[in-house]
C-alpha cells in the first residue's frame, strides 16, 4: 500500500501538470526571504560584530563603542535556493543620526552597495534592490554594514551614530 501511495502522490501532480502544460520551472520557488536575526550567522570579525536588536527585529552595530565605528560588521548565510539570476532586496531601518552603508557579497564578491537615505524619522523600514544578480546554489551570501554619523544629533560626548540596522535580504528570481 505504501508504495502505491507514493506513486499516486507523485503521478497525480505530474499528470495535472501535463494536462495544463506546466513545466518543472512552474513549480520552482521564486522568492527566498532571509531574516537577519535568524537566517544569518553574525559573530562578526576581530574588529566589530553585529548584535541582535530585539526591539527593532534587526541586526545592528553597537556604535556606542567607539572601537566599532567606521568598521564593517558582517553576517553570513548559505543560500539553499537553485542557481539563477535574482533581484536581491535588502530591508534596512533608517536612522536620524547617520546614513549607514550596506554591502551584499556573494561568494566573496561584492555585488552591490547602498547608503541609507537621510531621514527625520528613525527606524522607518527602507528597501533597496539590485537586479539580475547571479547566485549559485550553496553560495555564501554576506551582508555588511558600517556605523556612521552625520553630526546632526548631539550625544553626551560628540554626536550620535547610526547602527547599520537591517532586517532581511530577499532573493526573487529575475524575470
Average pLDDT over residues 136-162: 91
Average pLDDT over residues 59-79: 93
Cell numbers linked to 148: 556612521
Q: Share the mean pLDDT of the chain.
A: 85
Can you name the residues that pair with 76 across neighbouring β-strands? 41, 142
Q: Distance between CA atoms of 116 and 73, rounded to whole angstroms?
A: 16
Cell numbers linked to 13: 501532480
Report pLDDT for 27: 53
List, for residues 99-119, the tens digit of each pLDDT value.
999 999 999 999 999 999 999
Are 40 and 143 within 8 A, CB to CB?
A: yes
Q: Distance between CA atoms of 142 and 9, rounded to whole angstroms?
A: 38
Report pLDDT for 104: 98
Q: How many CB atoms lie within 10 A of CB 73?
A: 25
Residue count (the chain): 175
Question: Quick check: 14 pLDDT over 90?
Answer: no
Amino acid at each position: 500500500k505504501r508504495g502505491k501511495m507514493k506513486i499516486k502522490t507523485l503521478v497525480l501532480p505530474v499528470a495535472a501538470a501535463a494536462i495544463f502544460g506546466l513545466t518543472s520551472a512552474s513549480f520552482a520557488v521564486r522568492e527566498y526571504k532571509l531574516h537577519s536575526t535568524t537566517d544569518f550567522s553574525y559573530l562578526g570579525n576581530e574588529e566589530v560584530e553585529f548584535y541582535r536588536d530585539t526591539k527593532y527585529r534587526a541586526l545592528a552595530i553597537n556604535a556606542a563603542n567607539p572601537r566599532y565605528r567606521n568598521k564593517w560588521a558582517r553576517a553570513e548565510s548559505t543560500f539553499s535556493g537553485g542557481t539563477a539570476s535574482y533581484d536581491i532586496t535588502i530591508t534596512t531601518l533608517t536612522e536620524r543620526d547617520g546614513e549607514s552603508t550596506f554591502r551584499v557579497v556573494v561568494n566573496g564578491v561584492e555585488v552591490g552597495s547602498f547608503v541609507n537615505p537621510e531621514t527625520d524619522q528613525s527606524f522607518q523600514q527602507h528597501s533597496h534592490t539590485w537586479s539580475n544578480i547571479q547566485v549559485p546554489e550553496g553560495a555564501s551570501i554576506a551582508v555588511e554594514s558600517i556605523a556612521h554619523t552625520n553630526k546632526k544629533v548631539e550625544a553626551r560626548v560628540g554626536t550620535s551614530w547610526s547602527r547599520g540596522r537591517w532586517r532581511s535580504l530577499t532573493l526573487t528570481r529575475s524575470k
